[in-house]
Amino acid sequence: MKSTGIVRRLDELGRITLPIELRRSMNISEHDPFEIFTEDNTIILKKYEDTDVFTGETGDLIEYHGKKVSRTSILEMARLAGISVNE
């Protein structure tokens, strides 16, 4: 991990403000969703990115019943099911 040298305190609701320089350099906007991970005594924030529920791919996604699926996965499943698909 790379240290930024920035120290912030939690407010009474447990919030931390990310400095504007950090938000700009990492292309973070208001209301962007984040995933929270922990490892030992470390908290890791990662900007959330939609991914294919089967492969983890991030491109060319379609929403189906609240889940994201890539066109590649859909075509592969159609082939496995014996369905001929014209691309």
Q: Are 51 and 67 in contact (CB under 8 A)?
A: no
User: Which residue, chain included where needed, has tokens 């060319």?
Assistant: 60
How high is the pLDDT of residue 80? 94
pLDDT tens track for 22-73: 999 999 999 999 999 999 999 999 988 889 999 989 889 999 999 999 999 9
In the 3-class helix/strand/coil scheme, how is 59-86 assigned residue by residue? CCEEEECCEEEEHHHHHHHHHHCCCCCC
User: What's the whole-model pTM score?
Assistant: 0.59
What backbone torsions phi and psi does residue 69 show, to the nearest 5 degrees?
-135, 135
> What are the tokens at 80?
């496995």
- Res. 11 pLDDT band, cuts 50 70 90: very high
Say if residue 16's pLDDT is above 90: yes
Judge contact between 76 and 61, C-beta under 8 A: no
Q: Above 90 in pLDDT, residue 86?
A: no
